[in-house]
Structure 1
Amino acid sequence: MNALPRDLHPLAWWLWAIGLAAVASLTTNPLVLLMVIGVAAAVVSARRSDHAWARSFRFYVWLGVAAVFLRVLFRVILGGGYPGTVVLDLPQIPLPDFVLGINLLGPLTRESLLAGLYDGLRLAAIIICVGAANSLANPKRLLRSLPPALYELGTALVVAVTVLPQFTQSIKRVRAAQTLRAGETRRVRRLRRYLVPVLEDTLERSLALAAGMDTRGYGRSGTATPAERRTTGALMLGGLCGVVVGIYALLDQTAPRLLAGPMLAVGLAVALGGLVVSGRRVERTRYRPDRWRSAEVAVVGLGLGAAVLGWWVNRTQVAIAYPDLSSAPQLSLEALVAALLGLAVVAVTPPPAHALPQRAAPAAAVRSAS
């Protein structure tokens, strides 16, 4: 199936990653969260290309590790709040009366540490899923695939998501340049030698990208009459209000049911009309638009299926989705499938058009040259 190498539609990768992130957001089970992280890492390893943005995944992994560490550290500093087995009896620092409910240090229980670890793992899994989408999807093709009404917003988003890949490339270039030079070897001064050139290079590349996009007309809209602007604004504002009221009614079981599904549907319809009307103002052409094929549909279906299964486990298997802190977490077949379903994209997607070279390739090249 789709044996020829090609790059998938970037929106398909983002929808797949959002499905995995939804699974992670609906549970604190560390087994499920670790499997979601492993699935994201395995897919990135198998399907990322050799472009600059594809090499930033490790930084998202380290950001997830930092999130776990900080979450556990906050539990230690601000007090546990969970009764249970005390593993570290720290002295409690008294605070003024106006900060009642907040504790500094104090007895630390095993349940408090596990609660911080589980919450940190959930946040790390979401961050790593976003990093997987950023490593697999081409941001420039994503901008080209956005609807005309979202083009101005998409321009800003593309510039934002390419900052980290540019930062990683700047680090590699500066590190290679500093290796060829003699200088300070101590950590603090060496960090200063790295930091200033890296920030300068990243800023220059970001400004060059913004200037190039502005030169090519990205984000510019055509002429529109005052009546068209008022109509577009009214439709977008009305649709947004309808969506907000509908979502609130869905979450609040005491609200009238008329404000739930029907109001949400009306709000989405009005917002969609506003997008269509505002999209007519954008005048741009599209060369060779990206097409949706069977592989893209399969990727989106797997991500959506994982999210639906995760939601079902969250609603019907609460003990699995939110395990008790005093006992070992358990797994069900549905939770296992929800966590591992995203891995099937490796079997239904073709390899990228510009795959990463194998590690043995440089050595083989040296042998052939000699």
Structure 2
Amino acid sequence: MRARPWGWWRESPSSPSSARQRSGRYADVGRTLHPGAWWLWALALGTAATRTTNPLLLTLLITVSAYVVATRRPDTPWSRSYSAFVKLALAVLLIRLLFATFLGSPIPGTHTLLTLPEVGLPAWAQGIRLGGEVTAEALAFALYDGLKLATLLICVGAANALASPSRLLKSLPGALYEMGVAVVVALTFAPSLIADVRRLRAARRLRGRPDKGVRGLLQVGLPVLEGALERSVSLAAAMDARGYGRTAQVPAAVRRTTAALTLGGLLGVCAGTYGLLTAEGATYGIPVLLTGLAAALAGLRLGGRRSLRTRYRPDRWDVRAWLVVASGVAVAALLALAAARDPAALHPGVVPLVAPALPLWPAAAVLLGLLPAFVAPDPKEPS
């Protein structure tokens, strides 16, 4: 009888170690939430932020998103982008306050904080001033308005920190497959290009050669460019071997219907979004937005017939994803309802200048956004 080699049990399909290895391959899918659920949750919180200028509610929205990011953010390079969005939001808020200070504000005020030297402008620039009186009412209005935009940016940063961009783009419909692949390639190769520059500069420093200045940049840039071209050729060969760009034949009527649904749906989404952001279009904004979304999704589904592809280990949309999306939608819907019923509470006035109050039930509605911190899987836990 032929002797078995040493360690044959490690390769046995029925051994416990092999079972653990097979389960570990798919454990990452079970421990992560669908990236689309995170984006829908974050966009719903951003929509809720556009419904109010109350700084207490906006601060509560920022706190909710920050807590969810702190508890459910994976330990990956792209997940560290949340701090960059927070810094960008702070910069936007500071710029808004500086504009109100130096360029003035249309809000009248009686509480003068300081008086800057005013620069005289020609007659064609009427309505614009540089310097002059800076009132507390104008700064409060600028603070409320800038904080709303900052909250929206932080919500988008939360989506970027929680959802993998490559997994999100791989989950796109078949009609957007080519665009998704292009963006995935760009997102994948940009970090590798930066890593190559750092690696080559470190190697030159270890050899005692200059890595700064024009000479160092030229000597580092040539190997980096050569490596990028080699990866591009390898990627093109791999994509060609896998049939990239191959499409199926569909009837002309289906193509025309797809184009009409997609274009009409996008126009409906733009019109509905504009209606939600303006006070005059609040009545027609939601119906037009929902109709546009339905038409666009139908067009994308029809357009997916031209794409012949399969997905390896697709992300599952399970009950937890529905709960995460429902929590964000509930926050947006309840704040929109509160803005329609009690606009004074969600939009505190600045003339006369009064301290904003925290409305109780809209604040409780914002706390519903904390649900993902308890129902979403924790990517830091071992499988």
Q: Which category of TM-score, normalised to the shorter sequence, fits these structures? A: 0.7 to 0.9
Letter in 2 for 1:339: V
Alpha-carbon displacement from aligned partner over 1:246-292 (angstroms, at most 9, x marks no partner): 7788999999x9x9888777655544442232111111111222112
Letter in 1 for 2:371: A
By how many angstroms is 1:64 displaced? 0.7
Aligned-pair identity in percent equals: 43
Of 131, 147, 156 in structure 2, the residue corresponding to residue 105 of structure 1 is 131
CA distance in structure 2 between the partners assigned to 1:43 and 1:145 by the alignment: 23
Matching residue of 1:362:
none
Q: Which moved more, 1:273-282 or 1:58-67?
A: 273-282
Tell me whether 1:324 sits opposite 2:333 in the alignment.
no
Tell me whether 1:351 sits opposite 2:378 in the alignment.
yes
RMSD after superposition: 4.3
Letter in 1 for 2:105: G
TM-score (norm 1): 0.75
CA distance in structure 2 between the partners assigned to 1:207 and 1:313 by the alignment: 57
Matching residue of 2:98:
73
Letter in 2 for 1:351: D
By how many angstroms is 1:68 displaced? 0.6
The answer to whether the Cα contact below 8 Å between 2:320 and 2:375 also exists between their aligned partners in 1 is yes
For residues 324 and 22 of structure 1, do their structure 2 counterparts lie closer, same or farther at Cα, with a shift above 3 Å needed? same
TM-score (norm 2): 0.73
Q: Which moved more, 1:270-279 or 1:154-163?
A: 154-163
By how many angstroms is 1:183 displaced? 12
Matching residue of 1:358:
none
Matching residue of 1:301:
326
Of 113, 123, 143 in structure 2, the residue corresponding to residue 117 of structure 1 is 143
Q: In structure 1, the residue corresponding to 2:371 is in which secondary structure?
A: helix
Q: Give the unaligned 5+ runs of structure 1.
A: 356-370
Alpha-carbon displacement from aligned partner over 1:175-229 (angstroms, at most 9, x marks no partner): x959x88999xxxx99xx99xx99x989x88996898489436973514468254
By how many angstroms is 1:333 displaced? 1.6
By how many angstroms is 1:144 displaced? 2.0
The answer to whether the Cα contact below 8 Å between 2:51 and 2:339 also exists between their aligned partners in 1 is yes
The answer to whether the Cα contact below 8 Å between 1:52 and 1:166 also exists between their aligned partners in 2 is no
Matching residue of 1:137:
163
By how many angstroms is 1:155 displaced? 4.0
Tell me whether 1:18 sits opposite 2:43 in the alignment.
yes
Of 90, 98, 102 in structure 1, the residue corresponding to residue 116 of structure 2 is 90
CA distance in structure 2 between the partners assigned to 1:79 and 1:105 by the alignment: 7
Letter in 1 for 2:65: A
Letter in 1 for 2:366: A
CA distance in structure 1 between the partners assigned to 2:144 and 2:279 by the alignment: 28
State the structure with more CA Rg. Answer: 2
Q: In structure 2, the residue corresponding to 1:56 is in which secondary structure?
A: helix
For residues 101 and 58 of structure 1, do their structure 2 counterparts lie closer, same or farther at Cα, with a shift above 3 Å needed? same
Q: In structure 2, the residue corresponding to 1:108 is in which secondary structure?
A: strand
CA distance in structure 2 between the partners assigned to 1:201 and 1:65 by the alignment: 35
Matching residue of 1:59:
84
Count how many residue pairs are aligned between Structure 1 and Structure 2.
340
The answer to whether the Cα contact below 8 Å between 1:166 and 1:205 also exists between their aligned partners in 2 is no
The answer to whether the Cα contact below 8 Å between 1:52 and 1:169 also exists between their aligned partners in 2 is no
For residues 169 and 321 of structure 1, do their structure 2 counterparts lie closer, same or farther at Cα, with a shift above 3 Å needed? farther
For residues 169 and 285 of structure 1, do their structure 2 counterparts lie closer, same or farther at Cα, with a shift above 3 Å needed? same
The answer to whether the Cα contact below 8 Å between 1:67 and 1:124 also exists between their aligned partners in 2 is yes
By how many angstroms is 1:230 displaced? 3.9
Q: Give the unaligned 5+ runs of structure 2.
A: 1-28
CA distance in structure 2 between the partners assigned to 1:351 and 1:81 by the alignment: 48
The answer to whether the Cα contact below 8 Å between 1:28 and 1:321 also exists between their aligned partners in 2 is yes
By how many angstroms is 1:167 displaced? 10
Matching residue of 1:361:
none
CA distance in structure 2 between the partners assigned to 1:252 and 1:70 by the alignment: 23
For residues 246 and 139 of structure 1, do their structure 2 counterparts lie closer, same or farther at Cα, with a shift above 3 Å needed? closer
